[in-house]
Amino acid sequence: MSVLSFKASIKQGIPNKLPKKPNYNKQVSHAPKRKDILNKKEKKLAINNALRYFPKKFHKKLAIEFSEELKNYGRIYMHRFRPTYKMYARHINNYPYKCKQAAGIMMMITNNLDPKVAQHPHELITYGGNGAVFQNWAQYLLTMQYLSKMTEKQTLVMYSGHPLGLFPSSKNAPRVVVTNGMMIPNYSSQDDWEKYNAIGVTQYGQMTAGSYMYIGPQGIVHGTTITLLNAGRILNKQATSLKGMLFVSSGLGGMSGAQAKAAVIAGAIGVIAEVNHTAAIKRHKQGWVDELYYDLDKLTSRIELAKKNQEAVSIAYVGNIVDLWEKLAKSDIHVDLGSDQTSLHNPWAGGYYPVGLSFEQANKLIAKKPNEFKKHVKKSLQRHVKAINKLSKKGMYFWDYGNAFLLESSRAGAKVLNKNGGFIYPSYVEDIMGPICFDYGFGPFRWVCTSNDPKDLEITDKIAEKVLAKMYKSAAKDIKQQLADNLNWIKSANENKMVVGSQARILYADSEGRIKIAEAFNNAIRKGKVSAPIILGRDHHDVSGTDSPFRETANIYDGSMFTADMAIQNIIGDSFRGATWVSIHNGGGVGWGEVINGGFGLMLDGSKDCHKNLTSMLHWDVNNGIARRSWARNVGAIYSAKKAMKNNSSLKITLPNQVDNEILDNLY
Ligand SMILES: NC(=O)c1ccc[n+]([C@@H]2O[C@H](COP(=O)([O-])OP(=O)(O)OC[C@H]3O[C@@H](n4cnc5c(N)ncnc54)[C@H](O)[C@@H]3O)[C@@H](O)[C@H]2O)c1
């Protein structure tokens, strides 16, 4: 399709003539059929809600079609309206726009829906099984049309995928404000999501799906590499790589797909089980996993060989993780590191496939007999944990990967609780991400080159490397190791070939690093060294972005881990400090009702305004979380808060006074 016709389609929005209904494409990975949760009255409401997007003349025909979609898929996706043009991140100038920031946002949206990037592209799901960009294709069409018309003095308001409209604002206001899944707290259970999503009034935006900031599995490879390296250092303090170590986990999906790649980058033997054949093949084709095995005996022989040769290799077991764990528990193979990345934040609707059922059988049961399916999941989790417990007794270091594995296992009655009711295994945030990274302000900073030109990405990699190398020379002992790991990462980022979709890069950095890198990018754009604007952002899974008691804020021990002030304050603060768009979500990672998280996008165009915005916004975006973590008495965060105040005299953070333990011990 020519650029002109692409622009015309975007500008058209919802077409005046009904487009042809596409066939159901079996080559594409589809979302599982959702639970049939609505009664007759609610189904009518869902169809009525869906028809609001269309003129009267279409209603009769579409009413029947949408009721069929509801019956067949449990949701109304409006498949007929899925555009026929190729969905991918184009050069920013190839989108129709009146304001360049809006074009940047369109680019990010089309990247999130690119079939190479998205998990279930036709159902508008980017990752995590249910992480939606929009609820249906009408919302996509309308949103893109609004963005193509938007001026620098308007803000587009997004309610869970629904574009409420363009509202007058000002140049420095965010161009888009996104909320996803915001519920009255008492209506935030898993079934509430099923019901209100089916009615068409809310959606689960995960973290970077509904906020247009997903950059493919690369986004998580860096964090996973850091986690693996530091997990290895728990077993062997001196380890600079994981040479000879065996890491076992599950999932080759959206984020979990990063595990195989990260294991190789860290020098380990990574063995990852994936029950969905299509997902395993996709990662193999992309070069993210080296070898595929379907037979457990052949697999264990391969592992033994890899151990003997101390290979850095990634191997997929195409099958159920429970079968793999049980096989390893019976064998003499020593597993050093273990985790799990099934989508247990979504246990009853296809996030976790129970052992003993084929992938297809499980999908049928989810739709037809959800209660029976639940029983299978619970039994499977009990067996899952039993095998892990056996290997842990032999010395394996196991951690929860923020996917609600321990939470759901405990709810299923598996043996994961200690005498005090706590979990017997740490979450990766408690042991690694929290105290080593977040408390010092290090988090998953990222950027996207809107030219979509690999040359621009290469130039930005070099700029970031130069900035970090300079910082490393004068860095304090507390953060030197982190800077060294991040410097190694960016040096080899290009050769590790991690780009899927837009030309993007992830690089863990602290407040100072993020600001210095962003300043250098803005200068490079101004001088024409980089050919087009750059979009900055981050995963919500960051220092200040997320309040999640079993994950990002799991190492907050002052009782405030169940509050969500930090995440809410964060996007409010970002929005008046110059963010191009902001988003706040209920659910993401660990599940609906379990977490509040937010993020931003900031487009750099080389201007002075951008310089002002990036300095002020990025500083707040990290130091909000440092201040909160330091108030919770986290040692690293107190250190970072003091350092930040020393560097900026207008920053005044309330620091905690330490209380002597004896005073408290003598009280009760
Ligand atoms: N990677 C990270 O750094 C990170 C951080 C925080 C949380 N998480 C969590 O990890 C989970 C996975 O994320 P994702 O985006 O990859 O989700 P996803 O749904 O795309 O992938 C999960 C994969 O697990 C597979 N699977 C499910 N049950 C299985 C089983 N019993 N045996 C083998 N494979 C099975 C699925 O087929 C799927 O491909 C989510 O809950 C996410 O929130 C990941």
Task: Give me ligand 1 centre to Cα 258, in Å.
Answer: 10
Phi and psi angles of residue 521, each rounded to the nearest 5 degrees, phi first = -65, -45
Residue 382: pLDDT band with limits 50, 70, 90: very high
Q: Is 230 helix (H, G, I), strand (E, B) or coil?
A: helix
pLDDT digits 0-9 by tens, 544-564: 999 999 889 999 999 999 999
Average pLDDT over residues 574-580: 98
Q: Is the CB of 352 under 6 A from ligand 1?
A: yes
Query: CA of 660: how far to CAs of 241, 273, 344, 392, 665, in Å?
Result: 40, 48, 40, 36, 9
| Nearest CA residue ID for atom 43, ligand 1 | 589
Q: How does the average pLDDT of the chain come out, rounded?
A: 95
Query: CA of 478: how far to CAs of 94, 631, 639, in Å?
Result: 46, 19, 9
* Ligand 1 atom at shortest distance from the alpha carbon of 273: 33
Task: Give me ligand 1 centre to Cα 298, in Å.
Answer: 25
pLDDT digits 0-9 by tens, 325-358: 999 999 999 999 999 999 998 899 899 999 999 9
Q: Is the CB of 546 under 6 A from ligand 1?
A: no
Asked whether the beta carbons of 575 and 173 are under 8 A apart, the reply is yes
Task: Give me ligand 1 centre to Cα 128, in Å.
Answer: 6
Look at the block and give the residue holding tokens 């990975």. Answer: 29
Q: Is the CB of 131 under 6 A from ligand 1?
A: no
The per-residue pLDDT for 443 is 96
**Which range has the worst mean pLDDT, 195-199, 238-242, 350-354, 425-429?**
238-242
Task: Give me ligand 1 centre to Cα 205, in Å.
Answer: 16
Q: Is the CB of 325 under 6 A from ligand 1?
A: no
| Nearest CA residue ID for atom 26, ligand 1 | 342
Task: Give me ligand 1 centre to Cα 401, in Å.
Answer: 9
Alpha helices, H only, 401-449 = 405-411, 428
| Nearest CA residue ID for atom 5, ligand 1 | 402
Q: Is the CB of 218 under 6 A from ligand 1?
A: no
Q: Is the model's pLDDT at 239 over the cut of 80?
A: no
CB half-sphere exposure, 295, CA atoms < 13 A: 4
Structure tokens at 191: 């079934």
Structure tokens at 614: 């990036």
Task: Give me ligand 1 centre to Cα 256, in Å.
Answer: 5
| Nearest CA residue ID for atom 9, ligand 1 | 403
* Residue at 587: amino acid letter: G
Q: Is the CB of 316 under 6 A from ligand 1?
A: no
Residue 542: pLDDT band with limits 50, 70, 90: very high
Whole-angstrom distance, CA of residue 458 vs CA of residue 446: 14
* Ligand 1 atom at shortest distance from the alpha carbon of 119: 20
The per-residue pLDDT for 236 is 82
- The neighbouring-strand residues paired with 508 are 444
**Which range has the worst mean pLDDT, 159-163, 427-431, 647-651, 655-659?**
427-431
Whole-angstrom distance, CA of residue 242 vs CA of residue 235: 10
Task: Give me ligand 1 centre to Cα 240, in Å.
Answer: 27
Q: Is the CB of 339 under 6 A from ligand 1?
A: no
| Nearest CA residue ID for atom 19, ligand 1 | 128
Structure tokens at 373: 């399916």
Question: Rounded to the nearest 10 degrees, what angle do helices 608-631 and 635-647 cross at?
Answer: 140
The per-residue pLDDT for 361 is 94
Q: Is the CB of 227 under 6 A from ligand 1?
A: no
pLDDT digits 0-9 by tens, 277-299: 999 998 999 888 999 999 999 99
* Ligand 1 atom at shortest distance from the alpha carbon of 404: 41
* Residue at 139: amino acid letter: Q
Task: Give me ligand 1 centre to Cα 465, in Å.
Answer: 31
Asked whether the beta carbons of 440 and 482 are under 8 A apart, the reply is yes
Query: CA of 616: how far to CAs of 44, 218, 509, 610, 650, in Å?
Result: 48, 27, 16, 10, 12
Structure tokens at 308: 């003997």
Q: Are strands 131-132 and 125-127 parallel, antiparallel or unpaired?
A: antiparallel
Look at the block and give the residue holding tokens 């899927």. Answer: 500
Q: Is the CB of 589 under 6 A from ligand 1?
A: yes
Asked whether the beta carbons of 33 and 183 are under 8 A apart, the reply is no
Q: Is the CB of 250 under 6 A from ligand 1?
A: yes
* Ligand 1 atom at shortest distance from the alpha carbon of 321: 32
